């Protein structure tokens, strides 16, 4: 079937029902028709139970793991490698920073649990623990907590979602240059895709915090205020002001701690024990969240088509081997459930996830392919969105002749 035939079919079906669209690969996507009440009613009551001792034990586990790995690497292992070839020493320290970054990401996820009040029944404890853990990683805890909450409340809403808001066809054209039609674009080279992915993975998180990239635009406010550090930024409500300052205080305090670390132990210690693992944490955060919200089968909605139940279904569960459930605390494997009920702690998410699958049926989105492969595929296939006659239900399109793209003939 030709690409133009896919689009024609979409227009015919949506004209009659307004309940479907055609995804990037030409498959018919059916808009969910269940309610949030249906979803929440299926979740066993015990899944909502939160245990402060259990949650703290995971924080302790991750910190102990990082300290132990640091001791074994610096004290026990290093005498055996310090005289080896520089390549061997590089591999040794690379592996060390990589593993530390994994457990640092685990701490990031636990702070994320605090922000959702899934950590315990005690709000003050949740915010204190989350503020400490996120500040260590230079994350403005309350600032991100508030924008992330808005993201959960409007996931998949094209004008209200707060992050990974895809470009429309018109904005994509404008961003790439002055063209009158998408047909005038040539296919992106794989090299360009690779460079864009490297930039995204290395700097995407900081760029988001500093400029609100992939978030909503606020043309009535100066762009320098579109960030997570300015208390009166348009991404916040006026009641958030004092908490944004507390977030900034956490960043300032950690910056002073890092300066003291540098003065006491030197640049190498700070670089290998904190900075490189910090870069890994930033990478994993973008890697995880991008792939939770970007997929060729994933819809976005205009206001008149959106509902909370539909938006929460516009996410996807993936698999990341041993690391996902055991170090990243199941944030990858149970993300769909997390969007329906973010106060369920991660250690109760598996049974809750199984329960909602029975309600979601075909609308539950899951992909178990290698996530690095998915990263590449998504970057190539998911460049902009277009409703193509589906009346407010947007699906991803691209200029790379992947699936239903621009309508250009393949060479």
Q: Report pLDDT digits (tens) over 237-266.
A: 999 999 999 999 999 999 999 999 999 999
What pLDDT score was predicted for residue 16? Answer: 39
What pLDDT score was predicted for residue 187? Answer: 81
100 touches 66 (CB < 8 A): yes
68 burial level (CB within 10 Å; 0-12, 13-18, 19+): exposed
| Alpha carbon separation from 164 to 28, 205, 315 (Å, rounded) | 23, 11, 11
What pLDDT score was predicted for residue 388? Answer: 76
The structure tokens 């008149």 sit at 304
Instruction: Identify the segments of the chain with pLDDT beneath 70.
Output: 1-18, 178-184, 405-411
DSSP secondary structure letters along 214-230: TS---TTS-GGG-SSS-
- Taking CA 231 as the corner, what is the angle to CA 229 and CA 233, rounded to the nearest 5 degrees? 85
* Region label for 18, one of left (φ > 0), alpha (ψ between -120 and 50) or beta (otherwise): left
């Amino acid at each position: 079937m030709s690409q133009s035939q896919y689009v024609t079919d979409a227009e015919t079906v949506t004209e009659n029902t307004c309940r479907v669209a055609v995804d990037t690969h030409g498959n018919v996507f059916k808009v969910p028709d269940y309610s949030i009440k249906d979803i929440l009613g299926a979740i066993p009551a015990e899944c909502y139970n939160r245990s402060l001792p259990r949650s703290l034990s995971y924080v302790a586990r991750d910190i102990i793991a990082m300290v132990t790995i640091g001791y074994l690497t610096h004290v026990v292992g290093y005498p055996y490698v310090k005289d080896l070839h520089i390549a061997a020493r590089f591999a040794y320290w690379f592996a060390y920073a990589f593993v530390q970054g994994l457990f640092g990401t685990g701490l990031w996820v636990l702070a994320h649990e605090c922000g959702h009040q899934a950590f315990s029944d005690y709000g003050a404890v949740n915010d204190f623990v989350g503020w400490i853990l996120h500040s260590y990683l230079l994350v403005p805890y309350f600032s991100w907590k508030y924008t992330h909450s808005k993201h959960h409340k409007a996931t998949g809403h094209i004008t209200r979602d707060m992050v990974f808001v895809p470009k429309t066809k018109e904005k994509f054209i404008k961003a790439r240059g002055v063209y009158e039609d998408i047909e005038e674009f040539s296919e992106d080279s794989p090299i360009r895709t690779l460079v864009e992915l490297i930039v995204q993975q290395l700097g995407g998180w900081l760029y988001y915090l500093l400029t609100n990239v992939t978030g909503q635009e606020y043309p009535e406010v100066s762009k320098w205020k579109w960030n997570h550090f300015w208390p009166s930024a348009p991404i916040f409500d006026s009641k958030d002001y004092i908490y944004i300052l507390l977030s900034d205080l956490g960043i300032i305090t950690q910056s002073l701690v890092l300066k003291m670390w540098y003065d006491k132990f030197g640049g190498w210690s700070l670089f290998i024990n904190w900075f490189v693992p910090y870069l890994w944490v930033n990478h994993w955060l973008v890697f995880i969240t991008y792939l939770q919200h970007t997929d060729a089968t994933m819809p976005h909605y205009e206001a008149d088509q959106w509902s909370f139940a539909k938006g929460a279904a516009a996410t996807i569960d993936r698999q990341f081997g041993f690391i996902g459930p055991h170090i990243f605390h199941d944030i990858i494997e149970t993300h769909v459930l997390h969007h329906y009920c973010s106060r369920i702690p991660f250690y109760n998410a598996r049974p809750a996830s199984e329960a909602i699958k029975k309600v979601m049926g075909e609308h539950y989105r899951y992909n178990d392919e290698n996530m690095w492969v998915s990263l590449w595929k998504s970057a190539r296939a998911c460049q902009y969105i277009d409703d193509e006659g589906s009346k407010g239900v947007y699906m991803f399109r691209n200029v790379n002749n992947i699936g239903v793209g621009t309508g250009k003939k393949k060479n």
